[in-house]
Structure 1
Amino acid sequence: MERFQKFILLPLILTASLPGLAFCYSIINGPTNATVLAGSEARFNCTVSEGWVILIWLSNGSPVLTVSSSQGPFETSDRFTSQNYTSSSGFTSELIIHNTQLSDSGKIECSVQGADSKFAFLSVQVNGSLSIKNSTLTVKENETIEIFCEALGWAPAPDITWMTNDSFIDKSKYVTQQSQGSNGLYDALSILTLTLTDTEILTCLADIEALPNPQNASVTCIFVNSTLEKSQLRRIQMVI
């Protein structure tokens, strides 16, 4: 509460020291939407025309950083800092959110006294774990197998697909179940059902928007046909 009051009082105190001020400026460019992985940085820019006095950054309605044209930024948290740029087009304040957390997701707003505010949305996502229980599996001829791929601790729930060698497997071949825990993170279990005719590498891929590339886990399925099994059996009998 004390921190919030400081943010509210600061613009009022600074404005009070500028009698006769006429508001004749505007926000030229507001922040744009961003999607980042938890633990990384998120950056938002807000450009205002000349004549501005107080600029306030808000996260989900709560002020997190104030910038004064005469005194610069007032930073009260190591997680919310700023960089400032001045050009012929105006003044740009860049809000930097460090070590982003799920709770940071939501509305990021640039507010300038005497001008309309501009806002964008931040989506913080979590890259969880992905695993297939077995790294290799022996498959017999005409045998139907089930491969289980487990994704734990994701946000949002990952999009799961399967590949065999270098080709995507039809979605009708697998089913994926999702659940959300009390911590807001998602778990998913994808079950692939196949009947193989050759040795293949099966890969499970999990993807969310913030990942540059999907996370993956693979299993090598070694195919053994009945002819090979009979040949191996005869060799064993001959040795005996």
Structure 2
Amino acid sequence: MDRYYQWTGLILSLLTILSDPGFGASIIEGPQNQTVLAGSEARFNCTVSERWKVLIWLFDGNPQLTLIWNGTSFDSPRFSQQGHTSGTTFTSELTIADVKLTDSGQIKCSIQNDQDNKYAYLSVQVNGSLSIKDNDFTVKENQTIEIVCEALGWAPAPHIFWMENDISLSNSKYITSQSPGSNGLYNGESTLRLTPMTSVNVTCLAAIVALSRPQIATVAVTVYQPEKSGNDYARIRTIILAVVLPIVALLLVILIILLIVCCKRKKESDYQKEIKKNTAETQTTNRNLGTITHSGNENYGYDPEETMYDTVQMRGIVPVSPRNYGLNQDANPRPPSEVIYNRHYGEAFPSRPTAYPVNPRKIRNVTHV
């Protein structure tokens, strides 16, 4: 029935245009592309110059609304229009109510001039459901968990991302997958791996162009610190010992090596000092000996025969000492005045003047201090 009214209106409009001398108007501004959510309204404007007679709105080539200059209109149930005149121009505002996903397509404004038609495109998107599968997240500190966000019945497939305490998370922390659903819709799933240190609020967000703000799903993650058991303390103690003992052993080895090196250096130093001391003492002794040697006097009157002479004298024999004779002299006794009287034996011995032999021995007396 709607088709009958549409074609009837179109035929009447064409007959009116062909018989009217005002044929030849132009479109000043055509409709603009629109992206809307399913279930909402879509609006398009078309502005024409004066002397227009018929304006037709077509969807994917099919007439949906016809408007005649005198205000008569032929429309379908979901297509309506409002007209506004400004000076010599007229603007028709087309409204499509309760748009569906199948309403996506081309919208055309025509004034029956094949060279002056204006086009626009309508894109209808569907925001489906968004939820986090598990709502109870109570975990131990430093425990890694996985949070799964599920988006069902979207068109097109949404862009899913995550936030922690209103701060966007890196996309390296989550993995997102998409799959086609029924009736031209899409499903998506995103898995977040998180290792919280404190309690946080985690938000999953899904966005499409038709949404002015992303759709969200939020969950609270509660973190608690577990009580440390005896095993934990033993493990901690073992770790500490495993780390500290090698360090202490290494330091001890280094200390022993340093002590050995120091002792060795000290011994070498003491040995060198002792050598220097002995060398100095030897040099001092040599200098003293040299001084004593050079300070001694030669005894040219010493004769080993004197010992024998003294021995004979002790026996009461008066020997004739060859010392009383000079070289190349006769063995004549000396005058009595030159004879020395020996009080012990009551004998007189000739005095011995200092006489030096031809080849005397040099005897040096050395006194050591």
**When the two structures are superposed, what TM-score results if normalisation uses the length of structure 1?**
0.88
Q: Tell me how far 1:103 sits from its aligned partner.
A: 1.1
Identical-pair percentage: 54
| C-alpha separation in 1, matches of 2:155 and 2:64 | 24
The range that moved more, 85-94 or 106-115, is 106-115
| C-alpha separation in 1, matches of 2:124 and 2:9 | 25
| C-alpha separation in 1, matches of 2:7 and 2:153 | 36
| C-alpha separation in 1, matches of 2:29 and 2:61 | 20
Q: Judge conservation of contact 1:150–1:188 (CA < 8 Å) in 2.
A: yes
Instruction: Give matches, 1:116-127, under 5 Å.
Output: 116-127=116-127
2:209 aligns to what? 209
Residue identity matched to 2:16: L
Query: How many residues are paired up?
Result: 227
Structure having greater relative contact order (Cα 8 Å, sep ≥ 6)? 1
| C-alpha separation in 1, matches of 2:22 and 2:85 | 22
| C-alpha separation in 1, matches of 2:5 and 2:159 | 40
1:103-131 deviation line (CA, Å, top 9, x unaligned): 11111110112351001111111111110
Q: Tell me how far 1:17 sits from its aligned partner.
A: 4.1
Q: Alignment partner of 1:212: what SS?
A: coil
* Gap runs ≥5 in structure 2: 231-369
Q: Judge conservation of contact 1:130–1:215 (CA < 8 Å) in 2.
A: yes
2:93 aligns to what? 94
2:30 aligns to what? 30
1:234 aligns to what? none
1:173 aligns to what? 173
Q: Alignment partner of 1:156: what SS?
A: coil
Q: Judge conservation of contact 2:127–2:155 (CA < 8 Å) in 1.
A: yes
Q: Judge conservation of contact 2:137–2:220 (CA < 8 Å) in 1.
A: yes
Q: Alignment partner of 2:217: what SS?
A: strand
| C-alpha separation in 2, matches of 1:15 and 1:144 | 74
Residue identity matched to 2:100: Q
2:8 aligns to what? 6
2:148 aligns to what? 148
Instruction: Give matches, 1:222-237, under 5 Å.
Output: 222-226=222-226, 228=227, 230=229
1:182-214 deviation line (CA, Å, top 9, x unaligned): 301111111111222111111000111111211
Rg larger in 1 or in 2?
Answer: 2
Q: Alignment partner of 2:178: what SS?
A: strand
Does 2:162 correspond to 1:162? yes
| C-alpha separation in 2, matches of 1:49 and 1:5 | 25
Q: Judge conservation of contact 2:162–2:202 (CA < 8 Å) in 1.
A: yes
Structure 1 or 2: more helix by fraction: 2
Residue identity matched to 1:13: L
2:106 aligns to what? 107
Q: Tell me how far 1:2 sits from its aligned partner.
A: 4.2
| C-alpha separation in 2, matches of 1:41 and 1:2 | 25
Q: Judge conservation of contact 1:4–1:62 (CA < 8 Å) in 2.
A: no
1:139 aligns to what? 139
Structure 1 or 2: more strand by fraction: 1
Q: Alignment partner of 1:23: what SS?
A: coil
Q: Alignment partner of 1:46: what SS?
A: strand
Q: Tell me how far 1:85 sits from its aligned partner.
A: 0.3
* Gap runs ≥5 in structure 1: 232-240
Q: Judge conservation of contact 1:57–1:108 (CA < 8 Å) in 2.
A: yes
Q: Tell me how far 1:13 sits from its aligned partner.
A: 2.9
1:236 aligns to what? none
Does 2:17 correspond to 1:15? yes
Q: Judge conservation of contact 1:141–1:223 (CA < 8 Å) in 2.
A: yes
1:36-72 deviation line (CA, Å, top 9, x unaligned): 1111111000000001111110111111001111243
CA RMSD across the alignment: 1.9
Runs of 4+ residues deviating >6 angstroms = none
